[in-house]
Amino acid sequence: MRLLSGNDARSLDFYIIENLVVPADVLAERAGIALSKACLSLPQVIRKGCGTIDVFAGKGMNGVDALVCAREVFSCGHKVRVWIMPEMNDPANERWQLTVCRKLGIPVSDVTQYPGEAGNGISGVIIDGIFGTSFDSGREAGHVFCSVVDKISVARESGAYVISADIPSGLDSDTGLSGASAVTADETVTFIAPKIGLFNYPGRNHAGRITVEKLGFSDELLDSLIWSEVTGNQNIYAITMRSASVLLPERVADGHKGVFGRVAFIGGSKNMAGAVCLCAQACYRSGAGLVYLIVPEEIRDSCLKIVPEAVTAVSIEELQVKPDVVIAGPGGSDTEGFTGMVFRSIDTADKLVLDAQALHVIADHPVEAERKLNERFNAGISLPVITPHPGEMKKIMPEDKGENRIKSACKAAEKYKCVCVLKGAGTVIAEPGGNVWINTTGNSSMSKGGSGDILAGVIGAFMAQGMGSSDSAVLGVFLHGLCGDIAAKEMSVYSANPVDIIRKLSEGFKEIIRGRYQDG
């Protein structure tokens, strides 16, 4: 699912108005009706037991959308109040949609008069149309706005259901960051295509349930005519069940272990045998045909007790066949021997995943790592996948401040000519050239040691089965998070452990297979 930046959204509006000759007021009507549909479909509104529906409108087009919504809901017999930002009290700034609300008899007041506390007249539903995609988290929102957000929060805590138009007010649509304050919605009705800030934390915490209203523009029209005109070179996507199901490779009925790929793991050390074993187990559970563990002699027996299907060796050169994929790093040691194996893998592996200790090798030898990875890229070898968590990202990209996860992942992908999987809430995947994906699965139960090792194994398994680096990372991250969600639903976000992710891989695959037959 394609995501838009603030500039993209404004370019899209301009394109529709200028090139498709759809007037801005028509777009506002469609958006406002979509908002009203979300409001009118709430059970408490259907029962007419929600109390007052309070509509907040700013001076921009989001405010106009909200005013159309107020008119539609009022026309259905509900009690509605409109609250406008102070700058709209100037008659010169009054929109005709606001004039219509006044003529219909809808009470219109300055937002500073909104009570917000529990009691008679408390909001049952709140429509947030104060700020839209033009809000910049670096700008000063103002005392009035912050005060209104505080009152909306009080109303929400008292039971009001909050619906935001396009994006919760106070969120930066490019980053999901907020300024001094931002509305927290129960639902966001976003128009034509969702905005990046709805999926990138902390914005995702503010968005609630996300509903996409196309406003009459089909996916076919958008794909064939519009996107190339408004999004430029960078394409940003949210990974959905539907997109994951399309990527899932077919499992040929007459395939053998060689067909499904050979994966070699370089890692493990005296006190870290578990990491490489978790990685290998996840790889097998995700469909790889053969697994080789390149581990120190002292832990070979321990590893085979955990992964008895594996073949062990102390070096790749000891193997009788060349692996299709090398995963370097899980549980690796800080030794010259391990460092040498990582660099030999960069030089020789057909497909490569660099995780954990291999990222520390890059951080300790940045010039050599960048040179070798760029040489690999220039030679046309498949893109390696790197899987840093935020701490590792700071080490391999010390010049990056990390304030914008999307930009950070893009910088690392470009510098090291790789697919960068920046782990964390809303994992970001970036490839050189600008394509970015943001994950929509996963939860806090996965913030435990070992989760990342499992992810590396899942990604490597898909690479072994013939998928490209980016597709493997996208599908692997989604499946990994989905299994974490399944485990947390059963055991809670407190109790679910990394090993439970492996146990739930079969259920995750089944859900993705079912997703092939679902729309969206």
Query: How confident is the prediction along the chain (520 residues), in pLDDT tens digits per residue?
Result: 889 988 888 888 888 898 889 999 999 999 999 999 999 999 989 888 788 999 999 988 999 999 999 999 999 999 999 999 988 877 766 789 999 999 999 999 999 999 875 445 678 999 999 998 888 776 666 889 999 999 999 999 988 999 999 999 999 999 998 877 999 999 999 999 899 999 999 999 999 999 999 998 888 777 766 666 666 656 899 999 999 999 999 888 888 888 899 999 999 998 889 999 999 999 999 999 999 999 999 999 999 999 999 999 988 888 889 999 999 999 999 899 999 999 999 999 999 999 999 999 999 999 999 999 999 999 999 999 999 999 999 999 999 888 889 999 999 999 999 999 999 999 999 999 879 999 999 999 999 999 999 999 999 999 999 999 999 999 999 999 999 999 999 999 999 999 999 999 999 999 999 987 664 4
Q: Domain 2-232, what architecture?
A: 3-Layer(aba) Sandwich (3.40)
Alpha-carbon distance 322 to 170, whole Å?
Answer: 54
Identify which of 329, 353, 509, 362 has the alpha carbon closest to the alpha carbon of residue 421. 353
CATH topology identical between 2-232 and 243-515: no
Alpha-carbon distance 98 to 106, whole Å?
Answer: 10
Q: Domain 243-515, what architecture?
A: 3-Layer(aba) Sandwich (3.40)
The answer to whether 275 touches 283, Cβ cutoff 8 Å, is no
The whole-number pLDDT of residue 212 equals: 94
The whole-number pLDDT of residue 226 equals: 64
Q: Cis bond leading into 168, ω under 30°?
A: no
Instruction: Please give the C-alpha separations between residue 16 and each of 12, 232, 403, in angstroms, as whole numbers.
Output: 6, 16, 33
SS3 174: coil
What single-letter DSSP state applies at residue 195? B
The answer to whether 396 touches 388, Cβ cutoff 8 Å, is yes
What single-letter DSSP state applies at residue 452? H
Strand order through the sheet with 385-386:
2-3, 236-238, 436-438, 428-430, 419-422, 385-386, 351-354, 325-328, 262-266, 290-294, 311-313
Beta strand pairing call for 236-238 and 262-266: unpaired
Alpha-carbon distance 251 to 465, whole Å?
Answer: 9
Instruction: Please give the C-alpha separations between residue 231 and each of 6, 224, 226, 228, 413, in angstroms, as whole numbers.
Output: 10, 13, 9, 6, 20
Alpha-carbon distance 166 to 164, whole Å?
Answer: 6
The whole-number pLDDT of residue 19 equals: 85
Identify which of 357, 349, 351, 342 has the alpha carbon closest to the alpha carbon of residue 419. 351
Q: Which two tokens stand for residue 210?
A: 């996300």
| For the chain, domain boundaries | 2-232, 243-515
Q: Which residue has the tokens 């910088």?
A: 411
SS3 292: strand
E strand or H helix at 208, and its extent? Answer: none
Q: Which residue has the tokens 């995963």?
A: 327
Length of the chain: 520
Q: Which residue has the tokens 């529709």?
A: 16
What does the CA dihedral 165, 171, 175, 176 come to, rounded to 10 degrees? Answer: -80
Half-sphere exposure of 28 toward its Cβ, with a 13 Å CA cutoff? 21
The answer to whether 153 touches 187, Cβ cutoff 8 Å, is no
Alpha-carbon distance 441 to 426, whole Å?
Answer: 7
Instruction: Please give the C-alpha separations between residue 426 and each of 190, 319, 389, 438, 478, in angstroms, as whole numbers.
Output: 19, 38, 12, 6, 10
Q: Which residue has the tokens 């890692």?
A: 267
The whole-number pLDDT of residue 6 equals: 87
